Structure 1
Amino acid sequence: MYLQETVEKLVPDIEINEIQLNAHLPISPEKYEQFKKQTEIDEIMQRLKKTTEDGWPQKKELPEEIKLYWQVKNEITCIDNLMYKGLKLIIPERLRKEMLQLIHETHMGIVKCKTRAIEFMCWPGMMSDIQDIVEKCDTCAVNNKEPMITSKLPDRPSSKQAADLLNQRRTLFANS
């Protein structure tokens, strides 16, 4: 004897139609539309979308540009015509240079630029692209050579307090 499958809704008043995956992205509506448009015209993004929707074949059957996503294939989704790897937006080819400039505009060095980028976005080779742009930057080269200024340790707790007023977070995807 088999149990019948339950077909009733457990919570009939609540329907979940879509996941708001983009709610965490610091992105303006205009920039969001730009990402959608660039994703729609990017051949690689469209092949990735089709591969994700149709199912992943064997790695050897994939085009070279899609093989780059093979290791993370289970994390890739398409929502509202944008491609995501987990919660990170996969940046279309034409917008990568602009994103690199936004990531690097504070000249905070390789580690901070990488940390800033991996919060919200990704593309194959992003870390090496960030490293290249920072290493070629004259401003970053000068900033990295400044010695660390040490100060005398305070004699008692709270006798010396400080705040870093210049280290402010900026929205990565805000209109420029």
Structure 2
Amino acid sequence: MDEDVFVIDEDQITEFSARKVAVATRWDKLLCQVLRAMNSNWPNPIEKKLEPFHKRESELAIENGCMFWGSKMVIPKELQSAVLCELHEGNPGMTKMKNLARTRVLLPNMDREIEETVRKCLHCQDQRSEAAQAPVHSWEFPAKPWNRLHIDFAGHNDFHWKVIIDARTKWPELLL
């Protein structure tokens, strides 16, 4: 029988240690309930706050007192701000922070928290690349019917039509 074992490399964790995460997990009210449910039976009916964990119950594991969802460490509430700070170290920007977080940790409302962290950071805002604004082009009204046409395809299953609409009169034509 193959077993998956997740090892926490404490040399890579700077702000917090695996031991600190394990202690915080035991003291976190929600994670404590999840741990109890994992070790015995899940309550029936499932409380709303436990639903996300219950849906993934076959993917949850405990290693050295730390909870994992697959290969991602579930971060207790007490340490979430520290994890966000560590992810934000070096001001990598929103996309890199999200990608890094998605591969390593599980935080509730992770995307929203990262977006808020980046929005509050002046350095990140200065480094943010602005998307080029496309110039607005309004179409000129055609002088005569059939001068400008709008063409598209429409259909369902095996039936396909070419739809042509005159821009001036809005007259539709369907071609099989």
Please, what TM-score do these two structures have when normalized by structure 1? 0.63
In the alignment, which residue of structure 1 is the partner of 2:72?
Answer: 88
Q: In the alignment, is residue 115 of structure 1 matched against residue 117 of structure 2?
A: no
Letter in 2 for 1:83: M
In the alignment, which residue of structure 2 is the partner of 1:51?
Answer: 37
What do the CA deviations read for 1:90-149 (whole angstroms, capped 9, x no partner)? 00000000000110122121110011112211122112211111122111111004799x
Retained in 2: the 8 A contact 1:68–1:124? no
What do the CA deviations read for 1:23-53 (whole angstroms, capped 9, x no partner)? 467336x711111111111111111111222
Where structure 2 has 5 or more consecutive residues not aligned to the other structure, the ranges are 133-176
In the alignment, which residue of structure 2 is the partner of 1:41?
Answer: 27
Letter in 2 for 1:118: R
Q: Percent identity among equivalent residues?
A: 22
SS at match of 2:101: helix
Q: In the alignment, is residue 98 of structure 1 matched against residue 59 of structure 2?
A: no
With a CA cutoff of 8 Å and minimum separation of 6, indicate the structure with the bigger relative contact order. Answer: 1
In the alignment, which residue of structure 2 is the partner of 1:124?
Answer: 108
Retained in 1: the 8 A contact 2:18–2:66? no
SS at match of 2:56: helix
| In 2: Cα distance, 1:42 partner to 1:23 partner | 20
In the alignment, which residue of structure 2 is the partner of 1:21?
Answer: 6
What do the CA deviations read for 1:135-175 (whole angstroms, capped 9, x no partner)? 22111111004799xxxxxxxxxxxxxxxxxxxxxxxxxxx
- Bigger Cα Rg: 2
Question: 1:129-168 to 2 correspondence within 5 Å?
Answer: 129-145=113-129
Letter in 2 for 1:51: A
Spell out structure 1 runs of 4+ moving beyond 6 A. Answer: none
Where structure 1 has 5 or more consecutive residues not aligned to the other structure, the ranges are 1-9, 11-15, 149-176
Structure 1 or 2: more strand by fraction: 2
Count of residue pairs brought into register by the alignment: 130
| In 1: Cα distance, 2:5 partner to 2:46 partner | 30
Structure 1 or 2: more helix by fraction: 1
Shift of the 36–118 alpha-carbon distance from structure 1 to 2, 3 Å rule, reads same
In the alignment, which residue of structure 1 is the partner of 2:58?
Answer: 74
